[in-house]
Amino acid sequence: MTQKHRSISLIVIHCSATRVTQDFTFEQLEACHLARGFKSIGYHYYITKDGVVYPGRPESEVGAHARHYNAHSIGICYEGGLDKNGKPADTRTPAQNQSLYSLLESLCLSYPDAEILGHRDLPNVHKDCPSFDVKRWLKLVDFHI
């Protein structure tokens, strides 16, 4: 359902839950989501290891990335999140970190009241996603808007 003016209170960061040794392109992610029955990619943005930010669903459309929170959130996913053995790990590259920071800066200008958090930080979510502590990272990089 497309809405012209969605009320956005959350920006939720995810990982693709793929191994650091595996490439997982935007096209592969989209195919995975279509195979799961989504009408399109569930995230609004996808950041590959080289730092390229791919737009997914338009921000005006409700995403499919955080059950019970999609209606009022923007979803960002980065490629990775698992070590070479398949265990949760912060696998973000410097390019991904820079792109994520810049994307968050831009989104916070559009949605100044939105809270930024990881998927695992949502109430009643029992996941490791995005495999790093978002609040700690935001403090570490001195993120302010």
- Which residues are catalytically annotated? 14, 43, 119, 127, 129
Burial class (CB in 10 A: 0-12, 13-18, 19+), 90: middle
DSSP string, 47-92: E-TT-PEEE-S-TTB--SSSTTTGGGEEEEEES-EE-TTS-B----
Q: Which of 131, 112, 110, 108 is nearest to 120 (CA)?
A: 131
Q: How far apart are CA 65 and CA 39, in angstroms?
A: 13
Q: Which residues pair with 46 in a beta bridge?
A: 54, 77
